[in-house]
Structure 1
C-alpha cells in the first residue's frame, strides 16, 4: 500500500480523537432547529450591544421565510444575500432554507459589473442588500437581471452603539422601490411548510473565480456543510455555547462554515462586527469573551500591530486558527509573543466547504527545513488527500505536485457548469490547483499555485478579470496582471500596461479607474507603464517574464 492509503498522519491525533466520524446531521436546517430546541434562550447573535437569542432568531427567520413565500419565492429559488457581517445575513440564510430555497452568498464589495455576471448565472428571485448598496449596484442592473423582490436594510439595525470607527455618519434610510427588512419581518405571512432536506440538496451557492476567470457557483450541499461544521466542533473541540468570533466575511466559505455553521452545531453565540476593523475586533473579543475563531492571517497581523493590542484583549481566545493564505512562521512566533496564543493552521477551499487539512489542536505545525513553509495540517476526518502529478497519479512522499482531496466535504459541482465540474472534480476527487507536498509523518505543505491565480489577503484574484477591466480604459493598448510579494497581504495585484499611440495616462489614474469598477481586493495597487509587453512568437503575453 502507498503511504496515502496507510494514513501516516493518524499518529498525530490525540489519544481520544477518532480517525473518522459519523455525521450527527445531514441537514443544516435540522442542525439549527436542534440548537433552538436545546438552547433557545441562549444568545445566537451578538452585534455590538445587540443580542438575538436562538428563539428570536428562529422567529425572525420564520417571518422572513413567510414574507418570501408570500411574494413568489418558491422551493428551489435562490435568495442573494448581498450583506456585510450583520445579523440580517444569518436571518436570511435560515429564511431561505425555511422557504425551501438556496442561499447565495454574495461579496458585498462587488460592483454592478460583477453582480450582473453572478445574477445572470444564478437568477435569484430575491436579493437582500444594504440600503447604501441599492442605488449604485442593484438599481443599476439591467431590468432583466434585477431580482423580482429587493429587500434593503441598514447596518445600524439590531444595535444602538453606532460605533464611529465603523459607521461614521451612517443613517437608516427607506429606499423607494424596495422593501425594508424590518417591514418584511413585521408583515411576514404564514411560515411555509418546512422541507426535509437530503444530504445532497444545495444549501449555499458560493462563487469562486476558479482557474478560468469565469465566476463559478460551488454547490455547497446540506451534507457538505453539516459534515464540516462537525469537523470544526470535534476536531478543534469547540465547547457547547462557547462564543465564536466572526472575523471572516460571512459571504466567504470560512465565514459560512467556520462561523455560522460551527455556531449552529454548538448552539454558540456568533459575534458580528459589521466588517473587520482591528480595534473594534479586539474590543469585541474582550467584551464578549470569544473563545474560537478562524480567519485570514492578515487580520491577525493587523490586530497584533494595533495600539490597543494586549494579552488581556485576547485572554479568552484559546482556539485560534488561520486559513486562506500561507502563514509566515515568524508571524506565528510574534503573535504568541504579543497575545500568548498559538495560531493553528488550516487549509480548504470553497469547493471543500472550508477545511480539508487542519493542524490538530494539541499540536504545533512543523516548519519544512528546506522550504521554510509552515505545514497546513493533516487531512481531517473521513478524508484522503494526495499529492499528484499532472496525470492524477499519486507522487511519493516529499515530491511536489497538485493537492487532490476526496471526502464528504467536497461539493458535487458548479451551478450550471458541468464542463467546469468535470475539469476539477473527477471520481469525487477535487483537484485543487494548488501545489504542495507531504512529508513522511503525513503533514501537508502548500508550496505554490498551479495556475496564475493571485492570493491577496486570502482573496483569490484571477488576472484575466482585472485585465478585462484595464482594456476598457481608453489609453490602454496591452495589459498583463501578476501577483507580487507583499509582506502584509501575502500577494498584491500589479498591472503592467502599454499605451495606445499618442495616449497618455498615469499609474494613479489607472488604479482609480479599476478601483471604481471592481471589488477592493481585486484592483491593482501597483501599475507599471512600459513601451511593449513581452510576448511569444504567436503574440501571447508572457506573464512569467514580467514576474522577473
Structure 2
C-alpha cells in the first residue's frame, strides 16, 4: 500500500475545513451573478478613490459583451487583455465571459516579439491594451495577427484621485485606428448582451506559462478550474465579504486571476488595485483600505520590508497573508514576522493547477525540514491527490525525493493547439509538474527545485534552493539565485547571484567564505556576482535561464 492511500493531510485538515454547502456553479458568470444578487451595492473594485459596485461592474461587463456581439464576436473567440492592474482588466475579462469568449491574459512587460507570438498562437480577434502599450509595442505587430478590433484605455481612467508619484508623466495618447474603451462601454451600456450558454468544461482563460522553461504555452483553464480554486481560496483561508483583497499579484498571472479576481467575484470582497507595484504605496494603501488578505510572491514581501515607510502599523489588518511562486527562506519568514507581526503562509501551485494545489492552513506555521532547512509548501488542498514518483513512475515512500504528480479538479484541460505538449505533461489528465520534492510522514510537502535546475558538479548533485537558503542567512543579502555554470574540471560548478539590502555592503569573497563555513565543500558557490536586481518574471520567479546566459 502506498503512503498516499492514507492521505494523512485529509484527516488532519479537511475534516476541520468543510467546503461550503452551496451548490456548485457551472461557470464563472453564474458565480458572479450570485454575488451581485447578494450585495449589488457592495464595492467590487477600489482604485485610487473610485469604487465600482458589483451592480456597476455587472453593467460594465454587460456593455463590453454587448459591444463585442455588435462587432460580430462569436462564442469561443479570444480577447487578449494587455493592461496593468487596473479596473479595465476585470471589466474586459468578465465581459469576455459574458460574450462566451476566452480571455487571454497578456504580460504587460511583453515586447513586440513576445506579444506577436502570443497573439498569433491564441488567434485573438480583440485586443484591449493600454494606450502606451499600443504606441510602444502593439501597433507594430497587429498587422500580422487576427485582431480586428483594438480597444485602448489609460491607467488614468476610472480613478477618483491622483496619487503623488504614481501617475507622474503619464498623459493621454492618441491611438489612430483604435476605439477608446470607456467610450465603447458608454455606447453599449444600455444594451443587453445576447444570452450565451457556458459549460463547466468550456475554456475560460488562456493563461500563458511564464516561459522560464521554454516558449510560453497557453494553458486552457476551464470555468470548472476557476470556480473550484476560487472556492478553495475562500474555504481554505476563510474569506468572505467582510475581507478586503489587496491586489499585489499581477492580474495577468494565475495568482492574480484566481487569488484576486476570482476570489473577489465569488466572495463579494472588494479588490483594491494600485496600477502597478510600488512598495511604499502598497503599505500606505493596505493601511488606508484596512486590507485583510493578499497573496503574492515572496519578492513582494521582501520589497515591503525594505520600503522607506515600513512599520508594523501599516499591516495591522493584513492577517491573512499567503505567498507562492518562489521558495521562501526561513530567515525571510522570521524577518517579515519581526517587522510586521504576521506570518506568511506558503501556497503552492502552477499555471497548470489554476493556482493552488497545496497550501499551509491559516494560523498554522509550516514545518521546516531539519535536515535541509526547507519550509514546507503545505498539504494538498481539497479533492487533490499528489504523488511523489521516481524515474520509473512508481510512488516513492515518505521522505524520498521525486517528481510531484498532481490530479484534481483544478488541473487544466491542456495546452492550446499543442496536443503533443499536452500528452507529455498531462497524460490521462494527470499533471506531471516537473517540480521535485518529497512528502514527510505527516503529509507535509517540500519542494526541492525544478528537475532541470539540478547542478551536477563532478558527480555530486546540488539543488540551487539549498544554497540559496544559506545565502539568505547572510545579513547583507536581500535576494539570491544560484545556477550551474560550465566548469572545465567539474563539468558544472555553482555560481551565485545576489542583490544586497539598502546600504549594506559585502564582497563576493566575503559571501563565498560565509557559505563555505556552512555547507559541504562541493555545494558552496565558487563564484558570486553582485547585481542591483535579480532578474525575475513579473510573478516573482527567478529567471535562471537569463542568469545562465550571462556566462
Q: TM range, normalised to the smaller chain? A: 0.7 to 0.9
Residue 417 of structure 2 corresponds to 416
2:187 and 2:500 map into 1 onto residues whose CA distance is: 47
Question: Equivalent residue of 1:427, what SS?
Answer: helix
**Deviations for 1:73-100, whole angstroms, at most 9, x for unmatched residues?**
1111100000100000000011101111
Deviation at 1:372, TM superposition (A): 0.5
Residue 397 of structure 2 corresponds to 396
Residue 106 of structure 1 corresponds to 106
Cα distance change of structure 1 residues 485 and 199 upon mapping to structure 2, 3 Å threshold: farther
Deviation larger for 427-436 or 253-262 = 427-436
Residue 226 of structure 1 corresponds to 227
1:53-202 matched pairs, under 5 angstroms: 53-141=53-141, 143-145=143-145, 147-188=147-188, 190-202=191-203
Question: Equivalent residue of 1:385, what SS?
Answer: strand
Deviation at 1:241, TM superposition (A): 3.6
1:209 and 1:318 map into 2 onto residues whose CA distance is: 29
1:246 and 1:202 map into 2 onto residues whose CA distance is: 24
Deviation at 1:186, TM superposition (A): 1.2
What TM-score do the two structures reach when normalised by structure 2?
A: 0.82
1:36-47 matched pairs, under 5 angstroms: 36-47=36-47
Deviation at 1:340, TM superposition (A): 0.7
Residue 386 of structure 2 corresponds to 385
Deviation at 1:161, TM superposition (A): 2.3
2:172 and 2:278 map into 1 onto residues whose CA distance is: 21
Cα distance change of structure 1 residues 114 and 28 upon mapping to structure 2, 3 Å threshold: same
Is the 8 Å Cα contact of residues 390 and 403 (structure 2) preserved in structure 1? yes
Deviation at 1:381, TM superposition (A): 0.3
**Deviations for 1:42-79, whole angstroms, at most 9, x for unmatched residues?**
00000111110001101111111111111121111100
CA RMSD of aligned residues (A): 2.8
Residue 348 of structure 1 corresponds to 349
2:329 and 2:112 map into 1 onto residues whose CA distance is: 35
Residue 503 of structure 1 corresponds to none
Is the 8 Å Cα contact of residues 19 and 235 (structure 2) preserved in structure 1? no
1:175 and 1:230 map into 2 onto residues whose CA distance is: 40
2:416 and 2:31 map into 1 onto residues whose CA distance is: 25
Residue 524 of structure 2 corresponds to none
2:233 and 2:329 map into 1 onto residues whose CA distance is: 23
1:528 and 1:122 map into 2 onto residues whose CA distance is: 29
**Deviations for 1:474-505, whole angstroms, at most 9, x for unmatched residues?**
xxxxxx9x98554689xxxxxxxxxxxxxxxx
Question: Equivalent residue of 1:404, what SS?
Answer: strand
Structure 1 unpaired stretches of 5+: 464-479, 490-510, 530-545
Is the 8 Å Cα contact of residues 60 and 185 (structure 1) preserved in structure 2? yes
Structure 2 unpaired stretches of 5+: 455-463, 469-480, 484-491, 502-531
1:438 and 1:206 map into 2 onto residues whose CA distance is: 29
Is the 8 Å Cα contact of residues 19 and 382 (structure 1) preserved in structure 2? no
1:253 and 1:206 map into 2 onto residues whose CA distance is: 7
Is the 8 Å Cα contact of residues 47 and 272 (structure 2) preserved in structure 1? yes
Is the 8 Å Cα contact of residues 96 and 103 (structure 1) preserved in structure 2? yes
Question: Equivalent residue of 1:5, what SS?
Answer: helix
Deviation at 1:5, TM superposition (A): 1.2
2:14 and 2:364 map into 1 onto residues whose CA distance is: 9
Question: Equivalent residue of 2:129, what SS?
Answer: strand
1:167 and 1:63 map into 2 onto residues whose CA distance is: 27
Is the 8 Å Cα contact of residues 20 and 235 (structure 2) preserved in structure 1? no
Cα distance change of structure 1 residues 185 and 19 upon mapping to structure 2, 3 Å threshold: closer
1:402 and 1:111 map into 2 onto residues whose CA distance is: 34
1:382 and 1:72 map into 2 onto residues whose CA distance is: 40
**Deviations for 1:452-474, whole angstroms, at most 9, x for unmatched residues?**
49999xxxx9x9xxxxxxxxxxx
Question: Equivalent residue of 1:187, what SS?
Answer: helix
Deviation larger for 66-75 or 402-411 = 66-75
Is the 8 Å Cα contact of residues 388 and 438 (structure 2) preserved in structure 1? yes
Deviation at 1:193, TM superposition (A): 2.1
1:36 and 1:18 map into 2 onto residues whose CA distance is: 24
Residue 431 of structure 2 corresponds to 430
2:549 and 2:359 map into 1 onto residues whose CA distance is: 39
Residue 470 of structure 1 corresponds to none
Is the 8 Å Cα contact of residues 138 and 146 (structure 1) preserved in structure 2? no
Cα distance change of structure 1 residues 10 and 520 upon mapping to structure 2, 3 Å threshold: closer
What TM-score do the two structures reach when normalised by structure 1?
A: 0.83
2:321 and 2:546 map into 1 onto residues whose CA distance is: 30
Is the 8 Å Cα contact of residues 21 and 381 (structure 1) preserved in structure 2? no
1:66 and 1:362 map into 2 onto residues whose CA distance is: 45
Is the 8 Å Cα contact of residues 326 and 541 (structure 2) preserved in structure 1? no
1:351 and 1:389 map into 2 onto residues whose CA distance is: 21
1:440 and 1:262 map into 2 onto residues whose CA distance is: 32
Whether 1:263 and 2:259 are equivalent positions in the alignment is: no
Question: Equivalent residue of 1:218, what SS?
Answer: strand
Is the 8 Å Cα contact of residues 345 and 360 (structure 2) preserved in structure 1? yes
Is the 8 Å Cα contact of residues 244 and 292 (structure 1) preserved in structure 2? yes
Is the 8 Å Cα contact of residues 109 and 520 (structure 1) preserved in structure 2? no
Is the 8 Å Cα contact of residues 204 and 220 (structure 1) preserved in structure 2? yes
Cα distance change of structure 1 residues 27 and 524 upon mapping to structure 2, 3 Å threshold: closer
Is the 8 Å Cα contact of residues 230 and 265 (structure 1) preserved in structure 2? yes
Residue 498 of structure 1 corresponds to none
**Deviations for 1:421-447, whole angstroms, at most 9, x for unmatched residues?**
001001221011011010000000010
Is the 8 Å Cα contact of residues 244 and 271 (structure 1) preserved in structure 2? yes
Question: Equivalent residue of 1:169, what SS?
Answer: coil
Is the 8 Å Cα contact of residues 63 and 193 (structure 2) preserved in structure 1? no
Residue 318 of structure 1 corresponds to 319
Question: Equivalent residue of 2:3, what SS?
Answer: coil
Deviation at 1:353, TM superposition (A): 0.3
Cα distance change of structure 1 residues 219 and 2 upon mapping to structure 2, 3 Å threshold: same
